[in-house]
């Protein structure tokens, strides 16, 4: 009874606040009075930004005026809907493609064995999907609705080998063959394809992107702007070389790389990178404000702008800010303001080459994809059905013990278990593993000794993984040197240790001679520094994290209609400024051309010889005087008649060219090149002489083939995706990189 009364009193108090607001003049109204009231009553607070408080306040006022309207009642009925994941419909289907660069790396690693390469890449994809399912399944996305049971299911795997890249004269068969493609254009290439059949489409690559970037993805928006999960293939407008161009794009895409600063990314880091980029697709920007990126001993959350080593408590969790942002997008899907492509969870998905619960094996979609004779694919051929009417998809064939899709310890030849073959190569922290002969999967490799140094002496082994700090071997904890105490950027990249949780004892390894011999131990390139506010480059200097990264570069290349309209309005309003800028530009260019004219060689005998830039820089006044004297001389000659040299030149028009014998030649005062011209050809009677000082022959062609004109370069792969409509913070997902890289 008391709770009912308190609720009624609270509602009455709220109505009184609204009434006071309406009675206050508009210019005296303040959002903060109502904000303070919301702060005191959490049950009415659903957002935290001050501007969003104001928006919520106005919505409540609208409800006050339209309490019994049809719209208000419709809105209340819609709020009783269900969230994404309810009724077992929370599965996001994935298309995963690997490019030739990743194939080339794994192919060399597996001894140039194509079958083992495909198995290893498929296993890598499977491990990453299991990891992100574990991360997202434990998150409670609570907005207007409760969104639960979000999971990911691979429905298509496309593994590109490097054979098309080695063909010559066959044209470009695979755009991903190009090695020198930056991260923005790489995502653009992937977005040019149609991916409407999937919730998200990703490419895995092995490229060392600029700035340590590990991934890039489109960001979803709750307002309905393009980009992110469930986005469809449609036309966008972009700016190319000043011209507007329409192109179709799929913005439900993203990419991640397994190479960073010429070293392979550890599995834990690449799994967190995939979770991070999918977080962008689900609507979360990088963590902000500071409360959502605490750093310190517990580390930062998944959506922190720079990658982490993955060994801190918060590294595989979403921050409250990210949960709220993703919940807003899922709310928009529940309210049908965004396309809903989530499907029902039917357990295992046969045909994706990943053996899931309930499947004996999974070799692919059909017999073309199924490269083995031990397992039935999803689409069973007529011949197989005739031979075995009881054949079922994703089950082993008769008289087989295993399938290579189950693991590396199954023979492709006779579908039996293999014994003694190496199925796992040794690493810094793990021993080699060998097939045991009784199962298809590889046994867990034995871990090497604890606290053994790895990653070139910057890390130690812990439980078979190269993730521990070198400080652990000395009984200490790793800490960061920060820029508020250390101003040397190179020193910020030195590993520092502290005693327990005593941050005051944090010292560089160079200041602990009894433990490290007085030598500094530097972090590896890409490692976070300055309390995760920067990363160490190849010169062992701490550089600030560029969270915008590729996003900023793309924004500079793309102009949407709103930007063009703003520019047009500015030109209309400040037309006099535009004219002034134009006149200034013309004057500056005229002065520039005049200054450069004296340094440009010419075959005109009436012009002075070109002056060297070095001479002008040394004696600029002499150059100006020389130009002035030459102009005065030209004016005097034009008034007094032809010069002697001109009379001499015209006197020999119809005579043969000078022979090798002695005769009058050009003196020192003559213009350079005047005596090297060929004599002019005789003119037919009545023909007019050209006003030029040259012969009437056409000028010599430019170097190269004069018959071919040079066309503007084809933009090709430099085409960048259009920026989606909507809030300016949405568009490309920010570049992700700069991590503490265990080997």
Report the catalytic residues: 277
User: Is residue 51 classed as helix, strand or coil in its secondary structure?
Assistant: helix
The verdict on whether omega for the bond into residue 17 sits within 30 degrees of 0, i.e. cis, is no
Q: Is 523 helix (H, G, I), strand (E, B) or coil?
A: coil
Q: Choose among 99, 103, 342, 44: nearest CA to 200.
A: 342
Q: CA of 237: how far to CAs of 187, 234, 690, 724, in Å?
A: 17, 10, 53, 9
Q: What is the DSSP string of 147-178?
A: E---EEEEEEEEE--STGGG-SSS--S-GGG-
Per-position b or e across 304-327, b if 16+ CB within 10 A of its CB: bbbbbbbbbebbbbbbebbbbbbb
The total of other beta-carbon atoms located within 10 Å of residue 562's CB is: 10
Contact between 272 and 315 (Cβ < 8 Å): yes
Answer yes or no: is 286 a known binding residue.
Answer: yes
Range 157-192 burial, b when 16+ CB lie within 10 A, else e: bebbbbeebeeeeeeeeebbbbeebbbbbbbbbbbb
Rounded CA-CA distance 27/123 in Å is 64
Q: 3-class DSSP state for residue 289? A: coil
**Quick one: which of 429, 440, 434, 421 has its CA closest to 372?**
440
- In this structure, what is the dihedral angle of CA atoms 431, 436, 439, 443, given to the nearest 10 degrees? -10
Whether residue 630 is annotated as binding a ligand: the answer is no
Q: How far is it, in rounded angstroms, from Cα 127 to Cα 122?
A: 9
Structure tokens at 599: 């340094």
Q: Is 280 annotated as a binding residue?
A: yes
Q: What pairing do the DSSP bridges indicate for beta strands 253-257 and 200-205?
A: parallel
Sheet holding 534-536, edge to edge: 528-529, 534-536, 542-544
DSSP string over 196-259: TTSSEEEEEE----GGGEEEEEBPP-TT--S-STT---EEEEEEETTEEEEEEE--SEEEEESE
Detail the residues annotated as belonging to a binding site for Zn(2+).
276, 280, 286
């Amino acid at each position: 009874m008391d709770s009912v009364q308190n609720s009624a009193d609270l509602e009455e108090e709220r109505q009184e606040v609204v009434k006071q607001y309406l009675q206050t003049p508009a210019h005296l109204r303040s959002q903060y009075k109502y904000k303070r009231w919301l702060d005191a009553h959490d049950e009415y607070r659903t957002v935290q930004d001050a501007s969003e408080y104001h928006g919520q306040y106005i919505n409540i006022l609208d409800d006050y005026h339209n309490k019994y309207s049809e719209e208000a009642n419709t809105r209340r009925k819609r709020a009783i809907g269900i969230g994404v994941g309810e009724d077992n419909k929370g599965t996001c289907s994935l298309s995963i493609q690997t490019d030739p660069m990743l194939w080339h790396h794994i192919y060399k690693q597996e001894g140039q064995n194509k079958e083992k390469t495909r198995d290893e890449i498929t296993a890598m994809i499977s491990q990453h999907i299991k990891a992100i399912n574990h991360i997202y399944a434990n998150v409670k996305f609570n907005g207007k609705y409760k969104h639960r049971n979000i999971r990911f299911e691979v429905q298509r795997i496309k593994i590109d080998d490097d054979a098309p890249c080695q063909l010559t004269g066959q044209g470009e068969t695979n755009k991903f063959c190009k090695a020198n493609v930056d991260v923005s254009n790489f995502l653009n290439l992937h977005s040019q394809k149609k991916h409407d059949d999937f919730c998200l489409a990703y490419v895995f690559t092995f490229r060392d992107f600029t700035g340590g970037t590990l991934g890039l993805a489109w960001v979803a928006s709750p307002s309905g702007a393009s980009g992110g999960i469930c986005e469809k293939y449609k036309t966008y407008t972009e700016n190319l070389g000043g011209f507007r161009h329409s192109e179709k794009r799929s913005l439900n895409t993203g990419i991640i790389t397994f190479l960073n600063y010429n070293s392979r990314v550890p599995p834990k880091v690449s799994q967190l990178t995939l979770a991070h980029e999918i977080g962008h697709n689900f609507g979360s920007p990088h963590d902000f404000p500071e409360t959502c990126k605490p750093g310190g001993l517990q580390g930062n959350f998944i959506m922190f702008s720079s990658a982490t080593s993955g060994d801190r408590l918060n590294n595989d969790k979403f921050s409250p800010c990210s949960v709220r942002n993703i919940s807003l997008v899922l709310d928009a899907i529940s309210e049908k303001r965004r396309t809903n492509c989530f499907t029902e969870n039917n357990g295992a998905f046969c045909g994706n080459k990943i053996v899931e619960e309930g499947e004996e094996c999974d070799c692919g979609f059909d017999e073309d994809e199924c490269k083995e004779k031990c397992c039935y694919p999803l689409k069973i051929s007529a011949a197989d059905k005739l031979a075995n009417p009881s054949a079922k998809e994703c089950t082993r064939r008769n008289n087989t013990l295993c399938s290579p899709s189950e693991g590396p310890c199954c023979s492709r030849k006779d579908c039996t278990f293999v014994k003694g073959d190496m199925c796992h190569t040794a690493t810094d922290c793990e021993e080699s593993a060998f097939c045991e002969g009784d199962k298809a999967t590889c046994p867990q490799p034995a871990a090497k000794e604890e606290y053994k140094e790895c990653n070139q002496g910057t890390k130690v082994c812990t439980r078979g993984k190269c993730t521990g700090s070198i400080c652990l071997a000395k009984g200490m904890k790793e800490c960061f040197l920060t820029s508020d105490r250390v101003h040397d950027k190179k020193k910020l990249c030195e590993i520092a240790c502290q005693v327990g949780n005593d941050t005051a004892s944090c010292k560089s390894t160079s200041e602990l001679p009894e433990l490290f011999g007085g030598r500094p131990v530097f972090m590896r390139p890409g490692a976070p520094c300055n309390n995760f506010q920067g990363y160490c480059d190849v010169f062992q200097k701490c550089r600030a994290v560029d969270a915008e990264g590729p996003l900023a570069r793309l924004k500079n290349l793309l102009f949407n209609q709103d930007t063009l309209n703003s520019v047009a309005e500015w030109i209309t309003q400040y037309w006099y400024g535009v004219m002034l800028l134009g006149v200034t530009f013309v004057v500056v260019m005229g002065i520039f051309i005049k200054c450069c004219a004296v340094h440009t060689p010419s075959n005109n005998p009436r012009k002075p010889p070109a002056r060297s830039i070095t001479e002008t820089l040394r004696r600029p006044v002499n150059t100006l005087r020389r130009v002035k004297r030459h102009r005065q001389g030209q004016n005097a000659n034009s008034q007094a008649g032809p010069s002697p040299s001109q009379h001499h030149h015209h006197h020999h028009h119809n005579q043969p060219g000078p022979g090798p014998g002695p005769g009058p030649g050009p003196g020192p005062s003559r213009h350079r090149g005047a005596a090297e011209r060929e004599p002019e050809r005789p003119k037919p009677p009545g023909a007019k002489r050209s006003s030029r000082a040259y012969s009437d022959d056409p000028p010599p062609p430019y170097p190269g083939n004069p018959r071919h004109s040079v066309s503007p370069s084809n933009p090709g792969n430099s085409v960048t995706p259009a920026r989606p409509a909507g809030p300016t913070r949405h568009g490309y997902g920010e570049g992700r990189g700069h991590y503490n890289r265990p080997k």
